[in-house]
């Protein structure tokens, strides 16, 4: 069974700082990779996804993630965070056609104005 | 307006009682999921269904039951056998068969007194 590890449980940054959230997964085959975000008081929603092709994917609100197959990683990045990025971020993986996704424990990001 | 409706939003129950959480969708998605969200533990899969009249156990199915009699509906029953039922429950649907991009409802918070 696949598993997902997010290295940071709580990250605190000042506005304009750069962000990188780590995500590693354990699964030997092809996987689809996702980052979801839960803003305070809002639904969990998709931030970005990787299925195949260019390992650097771009999502909403200036976020991007890089898939490094050799490291089983899919780290989330943003060059300059804003106060509105304060949220909980979840990494998820699923093998294609497995029918289900496995989530990491989540990282709470707090951005100080 | 397409989406997922979960009800009730908040629910209190006494120990020993069963309770059913509703999840209805009008997105015409085939797959539906129930996740449990606890602080610091991410999302854990309870049950999922990829087609009407069929469902599979997730990672933490003990003490829960589901049905999928209609494409639009996937109710979750939390039975008295569930040892720690107090949690936030999220319903999701899956689009893009195989890719499994999830759309989430607003969630139901169950508190056992």
- B20-42 pLDDT, tens digit each: 999 999 999 999 999 999 988 89
Does position B82 have pLDDT exceeding 90, yes or no?
no
Does position B72 have pLDDT exceeding 60, yes or no?
yes
CB contact under 8 A, B104 and A99: no
Q: What is the mean pLDDT of chain B?
A: 92
A2 touches chain B (CB under 8 A): no
In chain B, DSSP finds a helix count (H) and a strand count (E) of 0, 11
In A1-113, which residue ranges form alpha helices assigned H by DSSP? none
Neighbour count for residue A2 (Cβ, 10 Å):
17
For B62-90, what is the mean pLDDT?
A: 95
Does position B98 have pLDDT exceeding 80, yes or no?
no
B27 touches chain A (CB under 8 A): no
* pLDDT for residue B40: 82
* pLDDT for residue B2: 64
List all residues 6 or more positions away from A15 whose beta carbon is below 8 Å from its beta carbon: A80, A81, A82, A83, A111, A112, A113
* pLDDT for residue B6: 97
* pLDDT for residue B3: 93
Residues in chain A, pLDDT under 50? none
d(CA A98, CA B81): 28
As a whole-number percent, the residues of chain B with pLDDT over 90 amount to 77
Contacts of B101 in chain A (CB under 8 A): 34, 46, 49
Torsion sign (Cα): B86, B87, B92, B97? negative
CB contact under 8 A, B102 and A46: yes
- B1 falls in which pLDDT band (50, 70, 90)? low
Backbone φ and ψ of A12, nearest 5°:
-120, 125
d(CA A35, CA A75): 9
For B68-78, what is the mean pLDDT?
A: 97
- B interface test, pick of A4, A43, A104 with most B CB neighbours within 10 Å: A43
CB contact under 8 A, A103 and B56: no
Does position B99 have pLDDT exceeding 80, yes or no?
no
Q: Closest to A97 (Cβ–Cβ): which among B42, B45, B98?
A: B98
């Amino acid at each position: 069974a696949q598993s997902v590890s997010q290295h940071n449980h709580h990250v605190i940054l000042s506005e304009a700082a750069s962000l990188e959230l780590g995500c590693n997964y354990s699964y030997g085959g092809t996987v689809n990779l996702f980052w979801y975000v839960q803003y305070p008081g809002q639904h969990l929603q998709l931030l970005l996804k990787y299925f195949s092709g260019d390992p650097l994917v771009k999502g909403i609100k200036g976020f991007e993630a890089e898939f490094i197959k050799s490291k089983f990683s899919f780290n989330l990045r943003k060059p300059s965070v804003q106060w509105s990025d304060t949220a909980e971020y979840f990494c998820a993986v699923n093998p294609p056609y497995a029918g289900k996704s496995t989530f990491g424990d989540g990282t709470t990001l707090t951005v100080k104005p | 307006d397409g989406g997922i409706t979960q009800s009730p939003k908040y629910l209190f129950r006494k120990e020993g009682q069963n309770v059913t959480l509703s999840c209805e969708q009008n997105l015409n998605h085939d797959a539906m999921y129930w996740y449990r969200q606890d602080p610091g533990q991410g999302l854990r899969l309870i049950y999922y269904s990829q087609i009407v009249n069929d469902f599979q156990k997730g990672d933490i199915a003990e003490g829960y039951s589901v049905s999928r009699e209609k494409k639009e509906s996937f109710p979750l029953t939390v039975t008295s056998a569930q040892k720690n039922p107090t949690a936030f429950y999220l319903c999701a649907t899956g689009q893009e068969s195989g890719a499994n991009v999830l759309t989430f409802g607003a969630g139901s918070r169950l508190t056992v007194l």
